[in-house]
């Protein structure tokens, strides 16, 4: 039997036009009733789709109709059913963020790409970094710091000169953003089982925000980050467009 497909598209004219054509050809199924979700857009829209439908547990097949498409397949309207049938699965395990703000509010969020901390004003952030309850950096002075998954290591993490991680490596990247002290500290590669804790020093004078993908919490005093032990998301990729191979190839791009 052919899979039941739910379509979702970004708001760009190109994606909306493709959405109309694909629904006319394959029907208009609600995500909860579908076997697979097809996302039309760029990487940002793919992340939105993963977050919006994460509790359904449906695999997501993306087609690139946006500016960046590292998590997407090439767009071709024809042979969609055959492409989905032969697609290879990739499991993503997101990060879980728990952030405590100055008001005492606790916010929990997940991130498929990264959790990032950024200064809110012109003054640098002062951050204490602990791993599994052990302080590793008493004071990191920086514009920010992030923890990235392997899938997210080619995104903001790479722009901040962090390492590209193989998809099945079961490690995380911790990368400083414009570090001032320690001068030569450029980050660390961490086992996926580690719990990272960031404490914001002098947070009233030097406010910091925390963002899990697109979910931002401002004026934080403490953030804990860990890889989820229970949540996963499944992406589908054409065999010739395998995500693991593209992450490997990205290390040799120039």
Write the CATH number for 223.
Answer: 2.60.200.30
- Closest Cα partner for 34 from 4, 2, 59? 4
pLDDT, position 37? 98
**Which is it for the CA torsion 60, 71, 17, 213, positive or negative?**
positive
Q: Are residues 127 and 80 in the same domain?
A: no
Identify the pLDDT of residue 183: 83
* Rounded Cα gap, residues 114 and 92, in angstroms: 12
Predicted pLDDT at 66: 79
Shared domain for 148 and 183, answered yes or no, is: yes
Query: Is residue 188 located within the same domain as residue 236?
Result: no
Q: Are residues 219 and 99 in the same domain?
A: yes
For the chain, how many structural domains are there in total? 2
Q: Specify whether 110 is located in the same domain as 73.
A: no
Q: Rounded to the nearest 5°, which phi and psi values hold at 19?
A: -60, -45
DSSP H helices, 160-233, are none
Residues 165 and 126 in one domain: yes
- pTM of the entire predicted model: 0.88
- Based on the domain organization, do 53 and 105 belong to the same domain? no
Q: Note the pLDDT of residue 59.
A: 97
Is-contact 139 179, C-beta < 8 A? no
pLDDT at site 254: 65
**Does one domain contain both 102 and 219?**
yes
Alpha helices in the chain (DSSP H): 13-26, 43-52, 80-86, 156-159, 243-250
**Integer Cα distance of 174 and 144 in angstroms:** 11
Instruction: Say yes or no: 84 and 159 in one domain.
Output: no
Cα→Cα distances 202→49, 139, 141, Å: 37, 11, 12
Q: Per this entry, what is the length of the chain?
A: 254
pLDDT at 168: 83
Q: Are residues 58 and 166 in the same domain?
A: no
Active centre residues (catalytic): 43
Q: What is the DSSP letter of 33?
A: G
Residue 137, Cβ density class (10 Å: 0-12 exposed, 13-18 middle, ≥19 buried): buried
User: Strand, coil or helix: what is 180?
Assistant: coil
Any idea what the CATH number is for the domain that residue 48 is in?
A: 3.40.50.10330
132 and 215 together in one domain: yes
Report the chain's C-alpha Rg in angstroms: 19
CA atoms of 117 and 142, how far apart (whole Å): 10
Q: How far apart are CA 204 and CA 17, in angstroms?
A: 48
What is the side-by-side order of every strand in the sheet holding 171-177?
188-191, 171-177, 144-148, 114-119, 208-212, 215-217
Please report, in tens digits, the pLDDT of each residue of the chain (254 residues total). Answer: 789 999 999 999 999 999 999 999 999 899 999 999 999 999 999 999 999 999 999 999 999 997 767 889 999 888 999 999 999 999 999 999 999 999 999 999 999 999 999 999 999 999 999 999 999 999 999 999 999 999 999 899 999 999 999 888 899 999 999 999 998 888 999 999 999 999 999 999 999 999 999 899 999 999 999 999 999 999 999 988 777 777 777 777 76
Q: Kind of pairing, strands 171-177 and 144-148? A: antiparallel
Q: How far is CA 157 from the centre of its chain?
A: 10
Domain interval for residue 221: 95-227
One domain, residues 79 and 107: no
The pLDDT assigned to 166 comes to: 87
Strands (E), 43-169: 60-64, 88-92, 95-101, 106-111, 114-119, 125-131, 134-142, 144-148
């Amino acid at each position: 039997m052919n899979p039941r497909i739910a379509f979702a598209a970004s708001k760009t004219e190109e994606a909306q036009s493709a959405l109309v054509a694909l629904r006319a050809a394959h029907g208009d199924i609600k995500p909860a009733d579908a076997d697979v979700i097809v996302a039309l857009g760029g990487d940002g829209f793919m992340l939105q789709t993963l977050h919006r439908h994460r509790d359904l547990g449906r695999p997501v097949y993306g087609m690139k109709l946006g500016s960046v498409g590292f998590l997407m397949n090439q767009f071709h309207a024809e042979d969609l059913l055959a492409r989905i049938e032969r697609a290879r699965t990739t499991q993503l395990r997101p990060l879980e963020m728990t952030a405590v703000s100055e008001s005492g509010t606790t916010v929990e969020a997940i991130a498929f790409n990264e959790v990032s901390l950024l200064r809110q004003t012109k003054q640098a952030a002062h951050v204490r970094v602990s791993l599994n309850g052990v302080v590793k950096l008493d004071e990191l002075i920086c514009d920010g710091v992030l923890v990235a998954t392997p899938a997210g290591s080619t995104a903001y993490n790479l722009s901040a000169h962090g390492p590209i991680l193989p998809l099945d490596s079961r490690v995380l990247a911790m990368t400083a953003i414009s570090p001032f002290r320690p001068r030569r500290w450029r980050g660390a590669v961490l086992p996926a089982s580690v719990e990272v804790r960031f404490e914001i020093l002098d947070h009233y004078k030097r406010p910091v925000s925390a963002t899990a993908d697109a979910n931002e919490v401002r004026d934080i005093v403490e953030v804990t980050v860990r890889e989820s032990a229970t949540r996963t998301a499944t992406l589908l990729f054409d065999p010739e467009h395998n995500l693991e191979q593209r992450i490997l190839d990205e290390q040799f791009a120039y």
